[in-house]
A and B are shown apart, each in its own frame.
Chain A
Amino acid sequence: MIKVSNKDAENYYKIRIVMIVSFLVIAFTVSFGVALFAEFFSQFSFMGMPLHYYMGAQGSVLVFIVLLILNAVLNDRLDAKYGVDDSENERIVASSGRTLDE
């Protein structure tokens, strides 16, 4: 067991919160934001259809997928930076007694 300094632990948590909040703000903007101002966006056209329709039918879903992949990749990097190794995580889960399957 190695002690993680309080500053490191705090930073780790803060970075995760900042990531989650920014991802959710982006997701809200492309879905609820566009729906709130649908009339305004309808004057633009993208891929042959009005922009508000494009965002509802395709744009927002693509943004959601990108955000989820970014979240997984950035969290992996964050873990690596703070010395977390996922095979250790698996070992800990397996030995914690929280799974019934040995």
Chain B
Amino acid sequence: MDTQTLVSVGMILATFALYIVIAIYTRSKETSEFYVASRGIPPFWNGMAIGADWMSAASFIGMAGTVMILGYDGLPYIMGWTGGYLFLTFLLAPQLRKYGRFTVPEFIGDRFRSDTARVIGAVATCIISFTYLIGQLSGSGVVIGRLFAIPTWAGVLLGVGIIAIYATLGGMKGITWTQVAQYLILIIAYVIPIIFMSLQVTGNPLPWLTYGNVIDEIGAIDRELGLTEYFAPFSESTQSQFIALMFTLMLGTAALPHVIVRFYTVTTMKAARWSGAWALIFIGVLYLSAPAYAAFSRFILMTQVAGQPMDQLPAWVDRWVDTGLLSVADTDGDGILSWQEITVSQDMVVMATPEIANLGLFVIGLVAAGAMAAALSTAGGLLITISSSIAHDVYFRLLRPDASDKKRLKAGRIAIFLATIAAGLLALDPPGVITQIVAWAFAIAGGTFFPVLFLGVWWKRMNKQGAIAGMLIGLSTTLGYIFMAMNGFTLFGVGDTGAGIFSVPINLITCIVVSLMTKAPSQEIQEEVINLRYPEQMTYKDGEIWLDKEDNVQK
């Protein structure tokens, strides 16, 4: 092992130790704490935990690389994954919070008074979280595998072991504070390299202000080389794919069960709104930095690596060529490596740039630790979500309503354990590229849940037939389109990752049409839905609103 490997491994182990200590220290005993952390997490910290839950291997490892390779056409990831928080916070989170159920399937089952809907919700939640989990585990496998120079599958197994231990031990409460620590580590790991690169390239330590000029220079170099400018719109994909992907990611974000469950950990509707705002502030730090990361990384490759004689390439080139993520070939045989002769994989950009820019042992180690924090924090939240769908929604609510807290806790832990093993096995040979797998999870979440949750909290006429038909048709449309697009059949140039632009509207229309064709829900349910329009203190009863107040001070 060389010094770099020792430093990187040391930093990863130190951060792991920190997470496990936090998980054990806050180890939860009560069932309610296991799932939703007592609903007492203040919005500021909850926002940070949402951030860690949210920012996965795809955001941390994949996104900047995607923007670097695709230019403007990579930006739907930036806008989609942030814009979704508006839909979530404006349209769903406060209402779901007031309705006061533990999980998404539980809300669906209770709001529509239907165990069929509950089971469909639980199954869809498992499919979504599971798909997402495969992406995380294979991401962590790549990082660990490269560090130890062991095969990726061994890296996956190592990651699976660690995540299973602390998710089973800590539950949600352990995970909330672990995730706060993970957020801090991953954001520091992400921002430090670009601050150093900004200093190196422009002499100004604020990359967010300086990278515009770098982009302009990249465009000038592209023109000189006779290539399409980096920032030219729709040169790498079509405009319809751009819009469809952005739409899919936004609506999917709003309907992801493991993100929504976070909003049950706050106390009131007001706290839910502030949690959403804090979450996007914390998430925004990374998403505003990713295009800067992409720009500096591309600029350094274009100016400091391209144009070098083939026999004087820096040492890192060989190491990355060995991984298969980078290829350099002097195709025109002039002994000089030109920009067109470098082929960079999206997934290596964030991990390799600190090495390329020569930022030193500790920064490189820090980025590895940050990438692991991103993959593991998201995996933790996903496992809790899968566990609660099975242990709470299916086992407790359906099969054994009389199960004791202890039994339910045990069922949850068994579910976590089994889900980790199963996802780990699938991650050994992942069915697609990490960002692609993750985008499928978004398409399925938006296509199955968004219309049902949205109409469920805003439209009193929405009934169980509508919900069941909407979820089934939405789920099958999404899966069907992804499958067709993967086999080359596309509509309007929209690829598999943009499937949500078809399935969300189809689901919405199905919900409305089927609900209107069948019997209206009972008066009780309709009043429940009207009640969600108002804060906790106001109650809707028999067409009138009452303000609950202990003292009698008139407003």
Contacts and interface: CB of A to CB of B under 8 A. Distances in A.
Interface in B521-549: 533-539, 543-549
Most buried by A among B100, B233, B274: B233
Interface in B253-300: 267-271, 273-274, 276-277, 280-281, 284, 287-288, 291
B554 interface: yes
Interface stretch (B9-17, B205-213, B364-372): B205-213
Contact of B547 (A4, A50, A90): A4
Contacts of B536: 88-89, 92-93
Nearest to A10: B545
Interface residues of A, number: 61
B85 interface: yes
Contact of A9 (B91, B288, B545, B548): B545
Most buried by A among B76, B212, B239, B269: B212
Contact of B277 (A62, A72, A88): A72
Contact of B535 (A46, A71, A89, A94): A89
Task: Place the interface of chain B in its size category.
Answer: 35 or more
Given A48-B211, A48-B212, 11 more contacts: A6-B545, A53-B215, A56-B78, A61-B288, A64-B83, A64-B284, A68-B280, A71-B277, A88-B550, A90-B267, A101-B38
Contact of B268 (A8, A65, A86): A86
Nearest to B533: A13
Contacts of B291: 57-58
Interface in B185-238: 208-209, 211-216, 231-234
A82 interface: yes
A50 B40 CA distance: 45
30 contacts: A1-B547, A2-B549, A2-B552, A3-B544, A3-B547, A4-B538, A6-B543, A9-B545, A13-B534, A16-B533, A20-B91, A27-B83, A31-B79, A35-B79, A42-B231, A49-B211, A61-B82, A61-B284, A61-B287, A64-B86, A67-B86, A68-B280, A68-B281, A83-B555, A85-B537, A88-B537, A89-B269, A93-B267, A94-B267, A98-B100
B75 A56 contact: yes
Contacts of A12: 533-534, 538
Nearest to A53: B231
B208 A58 contact: yes
Most buried by B among A4, A27, A54, A79: A4
Contacts of A36: 239, 243
B39 interface: yes
A24 to B, nearest CB: 7
B216 A49 contact: yes
B89 interface: yes
A9 B269 contact: no
Contact of B273 (A9, A72, A93): A72
A4 B535 CA distance: 13
B397 to A, nearest CB: 14
A18 interface: no
Contacts of B246: 31-32, 35
B72 interface: yes
A20 B276 CA distance: 14
B33 interface: yes
Contacts of A92: 536-537, 548
B284 A90 contact: no
Nearest to A9: B545
B545 A31 contact: no
- Complex A-B, nearest 9 residue pairs according to Cβ-Cβ distance, in ascending order: A48-B212, A83-B555, A56-B75, A98-B100, A100-B32, A57-B291, A38-B233, A9-B545, A89-B536
Contacts of B208: 58
A88 B536 CA distance: 8
B273 A24 contact: no
Contacts of B87: 24
Most buried by A among B31, B284, B537, B549: B537
B25 interface: no
A88 B508 CA distance: 36
Most buried by A among B85, B239, B533, B547: B547
B155 to A, nearest CB: 32
Contacts of B85: 64, 68
A13 B87 CA distance: 18
Interface in A22-51: 23-24, 27, 31-32, 35-36, 38-39, 42, 46-50
Contact of B90 (A13, A23, A54, A76): A23
Given A35-B239, A89-B536, A50 B83 contact: no
B429 interface: no
Given A23-B86, A56-B72, A64-B85, A9 B534 contact: yes
Contacts of A68: 85-86, 89, 276-277, 280-281
Contacts of B76: 35
Contacts of A54: 212
Contacts of B280: 64-65, 68
B101 to A, nearest CB: 8
A50 B231 contact: yes
